[in-house]
Homo-oligomer: A and B are copies of this chain.
């Protein structure tokens, strides 16, 4: 089952469920007693099974093509992300990371848009090394603390796709990533959360990032330095994981450019700290897609953010 948030002419924000990613039912229509925010909903014992049952018994749904998908998390306590967690990405950057502990930092809600919404590229005068990072997103369902690795996946409600858009110049301003990972609408997640029972073992899946149709990242999800269960268990040593906490599991390295791939070979157009053949920055008018088997496609047009002039409000 897919859990999603949508907007249409009658609602600014509602939750929906879909079996096939084509039609859906509003949660409020299937179960009017359920809360409207996903964090409270995910905290209810057995709620996903109940919704799946109601969805299976429901008549034909509405078309997802008729609504706008929104980032499905509403007031998440934490958007975690892992740095340097694919061996291919560690190799291409030449950076070091601990082999014992996940490399974790945080993003804000304001740094994400939903699937189909435009991602904002900084104007060139602000920054030019604006990079996609296709990632698996893990959404916590059942809260927990000091979770053993072998129980960790019981606390995952589902999975989503994340594009962890990054502004490299700002990321390198100091030792903590800070603002470079948190530009306005620089990343995205969605289009929905697929429940864990349906997605199954994350390591059996694969990820692919395409820029204007050209595949720029492709990897199995078994190449992670620190896996999903290990990361969930680690975080729960420090705090009580909450329903709706999200963890983006890190991004693979760039694929080598194809024979006829002119742009992927043109390092003179790379402005980041780690020029890599096959890595191409996102620019206005691009279309960026991240696909994960079993989850679907997260697709975003790239548009230029407004000029860097003072705006209050």
User: Which residues of chain A have a CB within 8 Å of any CB of chain B?
Assistant: 75, 77-78, 80, 83, 96-98, 100-111, 126, 142-148, 151, 154-155, 167, 170, 173-180, 182-184, 234-235, 237-240, 242, 306, 308-313
Cβ–Cβ contact B102 & A174, under 8 A: yes
Copies of this chain per assembly: 2
A240–B100 Cα distance when bound, in Å, is 36
Separation of A178 and B151 alpha carbons in the complex (Å):
22
Residue of B nearest to A74 (CB): B75
Known: A77-B108, A110-B77, A239-B183. A101 touches B146 (CB 8 A): no
A183 to B75, CA, bound (A): 19
Contacts of A97 on B, CB cut-off 8 Å?
174-175
| Distance, CA A177 to CA B174, complexed state (A) | 13
A308 touches B238 (CB 8 A): no
A184-B240, A312-B155 known; A176-B177 Cβ under 8 A: yes
Can you list 19 A-B contacts (CB < 8 A)? A78-B108, A83-B176, A98-B174, A102-B174, A102-B178, A103-B176, A103-B178, A104-B174, A105-B177, A105-B178, A106-B178, A142-B313, A143-B312, A145-B184, A145-B311, A155-B312, A179-B238, A179-B239, A182-B238
